[in-house]
A and B are shown apart, each in its own frame.
Chain A
């Protein structure tokens, strides 16, 4: 069972629809008990970093997220909140991955970075199995994450940025796999397999 974290900054319907199409059983919840009994977690997010962090704190989710050992996929703002801090509202984030989010410079490019883009580099990770540099994914974001030792794929717009990150059980994508057509389906399947491998063969996440 996958738990989609429900807080004020979620694009829940799209993620839920995508898992539905994959036949992956899931719940949408903000209850810690339900998150604890899930095999894997999806942490979506759209909107403002400060409002999102505030909502996580109000629901006692920030502390839980920092310490969980469950396979977890952050999407868009969800991934951004893994980092230490953001220029968006000068917000302190979860600090799972070092670095600060910055705004693209609208003197050089149109902000937000919205539309289909491909990678500049793709590393080796189960999340990226069968995915290469020329594959397009759908992005919508104004702030971008720096490239760090936990970056496993990069993209370039006004600046190079972390497109996919992974640290232990934490994985995150800047783009929206639930809106990225066949490539997005492949990435979500990869996450389900990554999560299944982490939690053992008895927990088959795809029916």
Chain B
């Protein structure tokens, strides 16, 4: 059975991890490479690095960092944050990233998905979608959740799949940061709308939340940041619990 994946997400600014990371035994908690290596050893199935640097110099730093990460870890990783063009995608993939995640840029230019998928394959193009509820529906937000596009999330999910995205990384803005559980209603609606893998994000607070996102939300993978960074949940414990709940996971000795 294909395993359900656990994906820690690291926010990167100027080549360093942001949000104080509360790890015992790390020499430098701001060093993305050291943190990535640690997660990889603890059983993370993939990693996502989200670059939130807002300067013109960002891309050079990011490509350098991606090269360094690729030298040091032996699990797949995705890089995202402000990626606008096929050329930028090429630089990041050549530096060793396995996938890139695209968010605001594909709302402006959906064909960026098809152009990059044709060049590099759908498997490395992740459509990141920020969703906020509007009555009975959800709208797509861009620019780090500050702008409502008015687009319907379910329609946009079908669109990105049709343009050739290989996966959807779906963040519930209603739940993000609340630790009250994933939006399983939203997840299951998206899961039945598309036939590409779905990564659940936003709301993880407990092990049960993660299990529910798979069993009720039909997510293929769970992405979270603070619960892992602050050691509220150990990846090993989470995977053991998921296995006991009958979910196929990759247990690492």
Interface residues of A (CB under 8 A from B): 13-14, 17-18, 20-21, 46-48, 106, 110-118, 136, 138, 140, 157, 176, 178-182, 184-185
Contacts and interface: CB of A to CB of B under 8 A. Distances in A.
Given A13-B70, A136-B250, A115 B5 contact: yes
B2 A112 contact: no
B158 to A, nearest CB: 14
Given A115-B3, A115-B45, A115-B220, 10 more contacts: A13-B70, A18-B74, A112-B122, A114-B197, A115-B221, A116-B5, A117-B3, A118-B1, A181-B40, A181-B74
A178 B71 CA distance: 11
B143 interface: no
B191 to A, nearest CB: 10
B252 interface: yes
A81 to B, nearest CB: 16
Interface string B158-170: 0000000011000
B233 interface: no
Interface of B: 1-3, 5, 40, 45, 70-71, 74-76, 94-96, 98, 120-123, 166-167, 195-197, 220-221, 250, 252
B2 A117 contact: yes
Contacts of A20: 71
B252 A181 contact: yes
A20 B220 CA distance: 32
Contacts of B1: 117-118
B250 A112 contact: no
A179 B74 CA distance: 5
Contacts of B196: 110
Contact of A136 (B3, B96, B220): B3
A176 B77 CA distance: 13
Nearest to B75: A181
A112 B166 contact: yes
A90 B162 CA distance: 23
Contacts of B250: 116, 136
A156 B75 CA distance: 21
A112 B74 contact: no
Given A115-B45, A117-B3, A110 B74 contact: no
A136 B251 CA distance: 9
Contacts of B123: 112, 114, 140
A33 B112 CA distance: 40
B74 A116 contact: no
B166 A114 contact: yes
Most buried by B among A48, A179, A180: A179
23 contacts: A13-B70, A14-B96, A17-B70, A17-B71, A17-B96, A20-B71, A46-B121, A110-B195, A111-B195, A114-B123, A114-B197, A115-B2, A115-B220, A115-B221, A116-B2, A117-B3, A136-B3, A138-B76, A179-B76, A180-B75, A181-B40, A181-B74, A182-B252
A185 B45 CA distance: 15
B75 A138 contact: yes
Given A13-B70, A17-B71, A140-B123, A113 B252 contact: no
A118 B243 CA distance: 15
